Structure 1
Amino acid sequence: MLSRVLVTGAAGLIGRAVLARCAAEDVPVTALVLEDPGDLKADRVVVGDAGDPEVVRRALEGVEAVIHLAAIPSPNDNPPQEVYLNNTGATFAVLDEAGRAGVRRAVIASSLSVLGMPFSPHGLEPAYLPVDEAHPLLAADPYALSKEADESTARMIHRLYGMSVVALRFPFVGGPEDRLPERAADFAAEPARGAVDLWAYLDSRDAATACWLGVTRPIDGSHVLFVAAPDTIVPLPTEELVRHFLPRSPLRAALPGRAVPIDVTKARRVLGFEAEHLHRL
């Protein structure tokens, strides 16, 4: 049993789900947030910037594992330099300070966007489908680049401190009454809009489970893992979607029914992760 977990970005969608999971596991949590909303399920709240080493050191008191979720979530609403420097600076500060403090386990939030497609101005298509962790990274925006740098930081931290770090490549995350219904309706009306995200999704409760497994599963090393629901969020056969909207992406494996065009077998092998909460269309 973990003695205490630090969750950065704890007031966000995934952060709150992680707090609920830790509470269910009866594990104390320190929440690191820019502003305290006053309703977090954490027995200790530290207010400050996850990119400030002094703040992070204070938040790490008594912590055995770290789940780092704090980030600017897209390149659309902030200056490019701010997006990149904020995200990479926070990941470095959190992992480096955790390593110095002797923390042995950490999870960081990466993203499907690391492939480069969701925010690319150039209309990228996958080199192949289903995509996997070996797929080329083709960042053309500061958010995708920040996630690529974060994954490299995780590998460096493992080499430097011996800390085991799992970088979870999340797709679009939501709940059954929060974000997912609207997303499903939008993509059902215009399936082409979902192509850059591979029509993928993950319930926030499953995202929390992946984070929990990342800091509790008996593993060693630095791992990058795609996590996603096994089906897409649109009521159309996946191979039909691919033919129409990703015609230059060759299929390396069959995608029967609504199978998500993301290979999640590595997450199953490394973490034993299986998404349980599927969105009903």
Structure 2
Amino acid sequence: MSGPRRILVTGAAGRLGRAALTLFADRLIPTTGLDLHDPGDTRAGRMVTGSAGDPTVVRDALAGVDAVFHCAAIPAPTLGTPHEVFTTNTRATFTVLEEAAQAGVMRAVIAGSLSVTGLPWSPHPRTPAYLPIDEDMPLQVADPYALSKQTDEAAGAMMARRHGMSVVALRLPLLGGPGDQFDTYARYYAEHPEWGAKELWAYLDTRDAARAGLLALTAPVTGFHAVFVAAPDTLSATDTEALLDEHLPGVPRRMRWTGRSVAIDTGRATRLLGFTPEHLFPLSLPGQAPPPPIRK
């Protein structure tokens, strides 16, 4: 399948949006960026400022575009009121996909989240139905952010049926890289491993997330698909079996884990998109001095 002529990246100033624009520029793919404010330092060929939830702004941003990587969102339920988080995220996703379809754009990727499971932000402790988690596991949504991600996926599935659009929702774990979140979370998990249980100590380098997005825009897929993507290991130096024994002891397991293997089944992303992570986070090796403690 030939590549896109121009990709619209929403949330262009965010962590994933910037990584996507960099990747696409390196691959010589023309881009348009859309964000509430122009940061002035992205690699977008064209930058449009405004809300991804505003149809007029989105129509302008879609000029000449034939694929969309939708990253714009409030990325956590703590960054707004429940009403703001849910309505902002779902309005933006519906608007971007519907306007794209009306403009004849038939390929889109949604930056979704592992949070769609309902586990990371639930106001009451919840555990997965089984391990490793996969796309067929029942959702346990109990917070507005998870609900927005579930609604985004439903919108993507509807667009596939309504317009014949190919839509892939990437269920992303913690994103970052060395010096950007991972060092901090690895220290957190070393001191308080229980904090990582709700996210299964999972991560994905932002560069790999951007590459997964490009694969999802070019792979020969039709219809709607939600896929988990994650690094094959965790941000914890403790073996996964020991972590699960201690922090998720009652959850049924469908396999055994070797070393720090992540408790997420990412096979669908491999089969559907041909995606394999390339950037793994280097935890401190035995015998090295541990990182300094974090001030909380």
Output the TM-score relative to the length of structure 1. Answer: 0.99
Letter in 2 for 1:139: V
Give the equivalent residue in structure 1 for 2:166. 164
Secondary structure of 1:76's partner? helix
Give the equivalent residue in structure 2 for 1:139. 141
Secondary structure of 2:78's partner? coil
Secondary structure of 1:208's partner? helix
Q: Distance in 2 between matches of 1:56 and 1:248?
A: 47
Letter in 2 for 1:165: V
Could you tell me which runs of 5 or more consecutive residues in structure 1 were left unpaired when the two chains were aligned: none
Query: What pairs up with 1:160-239 in 2 under 5 angstroms?
Result: 160-239=162-241
Could you tell me which runs of 5 or more consecutive residues in structure 2 were left unpaired when the two chains were aligned: 284-296
Give the equivalent residue in structure 1 for 2:44. 42
- 1:126 to 2:128 alignment: yes
Pairing partner for 2:65 from 48, 63, 66: 63
Secondary structure of 1:224's partner? strand
Letter in 1 for 2:128: P
Q: Distance in 2 between matches of 1:246 and 1:38?
A: 45
Letter in 2 for 1:135: M
- 1:22 to 2:28 alignment: no
Please list the CA deviations of residues 41-88 of structure 1 after superposition, one character each: whole Å capped at 9, or x if unmatched.
Answer: 011000000001111001000001000000000101211011000000
Query: What pairs up with 1:73-84 in 2 under 5 angstroms?
Result: 73-84=75-86
Please list the CA deviations of residues 209-263 of structure 1 after superposition, one character each: whole Å capped at 9, or x if unmatched.
Answer: 1011010112111100000000011001101101110112111111111110000
For these two proteins, the number of residue pairs brought into alignment is: 281
Q: Which 4+ residue blocks in structure 1 deviate beyond 6 angstroms?
A: none
1:10 Cα deviation after fit: 0.8
Q: How large is the RMSD of aligned CA atoms in angstroms? A: 0.7
Q: Distance in 2 between matches of 1:21 and 1:167?
A: 19
Give the equivalent residue in structure 2 for 1:85. 87
Q: Distance in 2 between matches of 1:204 and 1:77?
A: 21
Secondary structure of 2:24's partner? helix
Secondary structure of 2:65's partner? coil
Q: Distance in 2 between matches of 1:239 and 1:109?
A: 29
